[in-house]
């Protein structure tokens, strides 16, 4: 029989609840807030999640079913084959990719960047709750404040189809990434009004080559196109 909350990433859900308690959104015993996340017992974990749910917190952001998404599984499979210490996740949103990634690579330092302040606040709440290898930044990948060659991997999953100046975003990714850029985009037209362009293999190849990166590998993944740009 499935244990309560077994379908969510408990570590990150607990961190979110503890972060919200730190922000005084609800009460948790100090012992549960201060204890290392990895040292929490099953009973303590259950208490944190149950108390958070009673206070109205939503934990569906941390559902494990996200890592069953074909494109997420394929990207994680690629990341398992390389050596990396840090990763920039562009357009992190609610963490659909971040939580499976940090779960698989617990020692990876991941930075999420997003334009929306409430998304950044959400990620930072998880950090405050104890996930110290996560950082969150509000902004645009095109910002010059991101140093050259500062991340082993730049992940741009379901992002480029939203960006008006897509070439500028690609140039920034090429500048920032030290080893690899991972891209996924829809491979077919859809009715999402936020998707302002369809990026084909031909278009991506032209844009990345123009940006100075010609070592590209493509794959099709369940209605999506995945591309790996090799920079090293």
Instruction: List pLDDT tens digits, range 163-200.
Output: 889 999 999 999 999 999 999 999 988 877 888 888 99
What rounded mean pLDDT belongs to the chain?
A: 93
What is the extent of the structural domain holding 41? 10-62
Asked if residue 5 belongs to a domain, the reply is no
Whether residue 122 sits in one domain with residue 38: no
Whether residue 163 sits in one domain with residue 200: yes
pLDDT bin (cut points 50, 70, 90) of residue 5 is low
Asked if residue 107 belongs to a domain, the reply is yes
Q: How many structural domains are present in the chain?
A: 2
Predicted TM-score of the model (pTM): 0.93
Q: Are 94 and 45 in contact (CB under 8 A)?
A: no
Extended beta strands in the chain, E state? 86-90, 109-114, 134-138, 151-157, 177-186, 216-221, 224-230
Q: How confident is the model at residue 190, as a pLDDT?
A: 82
Q: How far from 2 is each of 7, 40, 59, CA to CA, in Å?
A: 8, 20, 17
Extended beta strands in 18-133, E state? 86-90, 109-114
Half-sphere exposure of 20 (CA within 13 A, CB side): 19
């Amino acid at each position: 029989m499935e244990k309560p909350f077994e379908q969510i990433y408990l570590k990150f859900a607990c961190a979110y609840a503890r972060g919200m308690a730190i922000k005084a959104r609800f009460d948790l015993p100090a012992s549960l807030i201060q204890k290392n996340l990895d040292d929490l017992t099953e009973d303590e974990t259950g208490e944190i999640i149950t108390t958070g749910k009673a206070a109205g917190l939503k934990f569906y952001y941390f559902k494990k079913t996200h890592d069953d998404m074909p494109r997420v599984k394929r990207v994680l499979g690629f990341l398992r084959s390389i050596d990396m210490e840090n990763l920039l996740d562009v357009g992190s949103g609610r963490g659909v990719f971040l939580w499976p990634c940090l779960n698989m690579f617990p020692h990876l330092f991941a930075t999420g960047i997003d334009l929306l302040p409430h998304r950044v606040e959400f990620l930072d709440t998880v950090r405050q709750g104890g996930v110290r290898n996560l950082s969150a930044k509000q902004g645009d990948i095109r910002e010059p404040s991101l140093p050259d060659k500062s991340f082993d991997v730049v992940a741009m999953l379901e992002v480029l189809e939203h960006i008006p100046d897509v070439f500028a975003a690609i140039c920034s990714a090429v500048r920032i990434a030290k080893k690899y850029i991972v891209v996924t985009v829809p491979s077919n037209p859809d009715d999402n009004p936020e998707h302002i362009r369809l990026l084909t293999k031909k278009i991506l190849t032209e844009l990345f080559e123009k940006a100075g990166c010609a070592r590209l590998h493509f794959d099709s993944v369940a209605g999506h196109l995945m591309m790996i740009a090799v920079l090293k």
